[in-house]
Structure formats: C-alpha cells, structure tokens
Amino acid sequence: MCLYFTAPDGAKLSYLAFGGGDQVVVLIHGLGVSSKDWRPQFKALAQEFRVIVPDWRGFGHAMFPLDELLVEQVSADIAALMDHLDIDQYHVAGASAGGAVAFQHALDFSEHVLSLTALNSQPTFQLGSPFTRAGLWKRAMVLDRMVRSRNMNKLAAHANKSVLVNDRIRARRLRVLLEHLPSRENYRLALNAIQRWSVVDRLRSLNKPVLMLASDRDLTSVEEKERLMRTLPDLTKLSFEVLVGAGHAANWEQPDVVNDHMMRFLRRHSAAAV
C-alpha cells in the first residue's frame, strides 16, 4: 500500500508499508529507482517484521521537481517519516546508493537505529577519493554522459542491463523501473549527490551491528568493501557475507539468499534489542 506524509519543509513524500511485527525494518532504495526495487524482499520480511519502504524525495510516488538533493536530506526525510509513524527504534537496510542513506542515517540518528544492512554498498562513493576505485569512476562518467544525452527510458534499460546478467530477471525488473521513472534533472541531482558523498571519516563512531552483503560480480570489489569496513570500532558487530555469482542487483538475482541473510541477521539483533 502506498501512503503519504508531509515532511517538515512541506514536501509530500511517499512510502510503502507491509507486515505488522513488533520490530520495524526500513528498506532504502538506490539511485534512479523507487521503493519497489525492494519488491523481492517484501513478502519474506513482512512475515515477521513491520516493513517500511520510503521513496527518496523526487522519486517513485514522491516525484516533484527538485532544486537540490543531498544524502543527508534523504536521511532526514526517513527520520521525519519515523517520527510521523511514532516509531522510535528500527533497523535500516539500503541497497546500492540506498546504502549510502542507511550509513548516513545510522550515524546521524544512531539513538534510533538498531542495526544497519548494506547490500552492494559502502561508506563512500566520492569520486576522486582514494577509497573509490577506477571502475566506479568509469561507471559514474558513463551515467553522467547518458543522463545528459538520452531519454530516461533508454537510461533505465542500460543501467538495468549493467547490473543483471539473467535476461528473464532483467526484463522483470525493467518493467518495475519503468513504472516510476524520475525526471532527468532529479536523476542528475541524485547522481551528483552520491558522487560527493562519504562518511569514511565517521565510521569509527558507528557502533551498531552491521550486515554487509557483497556480490562477487558487483561494480566494486569484495576486497574494497572489506577494506573500508575494517575501520569500524567493533569488528565483532560486523557480519560480512559474499554473494557468489551475483551482480549489483543481487536482491533480484538471488532473492532467497539475500532474504535468508537478512532475516537471520534481523532476528538476531531484534532479539538482542528486546
């Protein structure tokens, strides 16, 4: 069910809601997609958890022209949504650029966050950073050129093809993406926001349970993600799982594997929070 609320600045924002468990998990989508990009997880997670899936402002059901967009703003929007729903404690999970929002939120609103799950994400996407490898830079440049020269349908098809290897799954996900295509300008603003974002210098203060799900065929390497996460203050709170044979959109390619890892992690840290 798609629902709406009004952010403190007056923006009308949207979210999906499923399940009715005592524990809450917030699923955060990535660049250029919508809340429906977590569709393969809805049914499994909703069996045990209350699942809240917000759209970034300017995306999904919350499409309106943006003047600017920052990762910090998307994180603050989630805090406003949780306040609107009167939810004080919750888990956050982000895929790809949604992981950037999840990292940001876990640091900025740590008193409310029980755990963090990052699927094929990392604590920086900042171009030019020593932590960001050439492969990510190359992909960012390709996307930047495409968003300036192509229509959004073609951009969505290209981006979708680059993150999935299975043709059948690729076609199914593309149909979902085309339901809520963002404007070219909103996509460009989101891309620029991600390319400037990093919380690497704050990782030592992230003292929450973290689940990293890393595909061995992702856009950045498993080794790069492992190296970045070694700066966490308590590595005993880090669960690092490699998804063998999966690409960037692993929640579509290997939904059962992703769901199993997430459910076991969330159960463990929900029990610890009680």
Per-residue model confidence as pLDDT tens digits over 82-123? 999 999 999 999 999 999 999 999 999 999 999 999 999 999
Helices and strands in the chain: count of H runs, count of E runs:
10, 8
Strands, DSSP E only, in 80-209? 90-95, 113-119
Residue 2 clears pLDDT 60, i.e. is over it: yes
Domain boundaries, the chain: 2-273
Strand bridging mode 12-18 / 50-54? antiparallel
Mean pLDDT across the chain? 92
pTM as predicted: 0.93
Bridge partners of 95, per DSSP, are 119
Query: pLDDT tens digit string along 4-21?
Result: 999 999 999 999 999 999
Residue 220 clears pLDDT 90, i.e. is over it: no
pLDDT, mean of residues 218-232: 92
**CB of 121 closer than 8 Å to CB of 98:** yes
| Cα–Cα distance, 74 to 58 (Å, whole number) | 10
**If you classify domain 2-273 with CATH, what class do you get?**
alpha beta
Residue 171's CB is within 10 A of a number of other CB atoms, namely 11
| Cα–Cα distance, 262 to 25 (Å, whole number) | 10
Q: Minimal CA–CA distance to 63: which of 95, 36, 34? A: 34
Query: pLDDT tens digit string along 134-185?
Result: 555 555 555 565 666 567 888 889 889 888 878 889 999 999 999 999 998 9
Backbone angles phi, psi at 4, to 5 degrees: -130, 155
